[in-house]
A = this chain, B = another copy of it.
Amino acid sequence: MTDAVDEAAGADEAADESFGSVTPDAARRLLLGAVEAFAERGFHATTTRDIAGRAGMSPAALYIHYRTKEELLYQISRVGHERSVRILGAAAETGDTAAERLDAAVRTFVRWHAEYHTTARVVQYELSALAEEHYTEIVAMRRRTEEILRTILSDGVAAGEFTVADVNGTALAVLSLCIDVARWYRSGGPRTPDEIGGLYAGLVLRMVGAEPRGV
């Protein structure tokens, strides 16, 4: 079977990009190697030799910890989605007004996509390489993400804070803004993840017609 690939509650290590709690050590190194390789080249262009090499092991060692190459992608995708949904969900409960919650949600979600852009790139753009059953499971988690944003927008409209003609379409647009950060973000660029989060939160508040807060 597979080694323990579960999230420990409090883990937030930057270097491990949220896989810090994976044990044993070899399994974690393989997972981190796979994240890097999949992010760089994509799942199908990545060889098991490459992954094992990044983990400092022989190709065969991979199969002690994971049944297939696809299972590595699945674990990355599953843990990555769990974490991103949790982070977004927590932020979406921060604040009394819908505007505050939307600000926190976008700020946090964007920051996650920038800071952990390597993981995020795999999480967001390699879905189609998942086995069908795994794909189905992950898609369900992704619906939670959309749901969270839709709820904030609906709440804001109901409370008279936002002016949004098409809640579903606008939620999709907000999500696009956040997700696409993982595609273009590079470490060492002109903006920090925090700055991008702040910029995008402001843009989104305007998008939904929220009154400027404290400007």
Which residues of A approach B to under 8 Å, CB–CB?
40-42, 44-45, 125, 128-129, 165-166, 168-170, 172-173, 176-177, 179-181, 183-184, 190-191, 196, 199-200, 202-203, 206-207, 209
Contact of A203 among B45, B170, B179, B200 (CB under 8 A): B170
A163 nearest CB across to chain B (Å): 9
Q: How far is the CB of A202 from chain B (nearest CB, A)?
A: 8
B172 touches A184 (CB 8 A): yes
5 pairs, CB–CB < 8 Å, chain A vs chain B: A165-B199, A173-B199, A176-B184, A177-B180, A180-B180
Q: Please indicate which of the listed interface residues A129, A179, A180, A190 has the most CB atoms of chain B within 10 Å of its own CB.
A: A180
Complex CA gap A181/B181 in Å reads: 14
A183 — which chain B residues lie within 8 A by C-beta? 176, 179
The 5 A-B pairs with the shortest beta carbon distances in the complex, nearest first, are A176-B180, A44-B44, A44-B45, A203-B207, A180-B180
Closest Cβ of chain B to A90, distance in Å, is 24
A200: chain B residues within 8 A (beta carbon): 173
| Distance of A153 Cα from B166 Cα, bound (Å) | 25
Is there contact, CB below 8 Å, between B177 and A199? no
B169→A196 contact, CB < 8 A: yes
Q: How far, in Å, is A68 (CB) from chain B's closest CB? A: 15
Smallest Cβ-Cβ distance to A185: which chain B residue: B172
Query: In the docked arrangement, what's the CA distance between A193 and B177, Å?
Result: 18
Q: For the complex, what is the distance from the CA of A40 to the CA of B127, rounded to whole Å?
A: 12
Which chain B residues lie closer than 8 Å to A128 at the CB level? 40-42
What's the nearest-Cβ distance from chain B to residue A127, in Å? 10
Contacts of A172 in B (CB 8 A): 184
Q: Given that A170-B199, A180-B180, A207-B207 are contacting pairs, would A42 and B44 also be in contact in the complex, using a CB cutoff of 8 Å? A: yes
Contacts of A179 in B (CB 8 A): 180, 183
Interface pair B199/A166, CB less than 8 Å apart: yes
B residues within 8 A CB of A165?
199, 202
CB distance from A51 to the nearest CB of B (A): 15
17 additional A-B pairs beyond A42-B44, A45-B129, A173-B199, beta carbons within 8 Å, are A42-B129, A44-B44, A44-B45, A168-B190, A169-B191, A169-B199, A170-B199, A173-B177, A173-B200, A176-B176, A176-B177, A177-B177, A179-B180, A180-B180, A203-B207, A206-B206, A206-B209
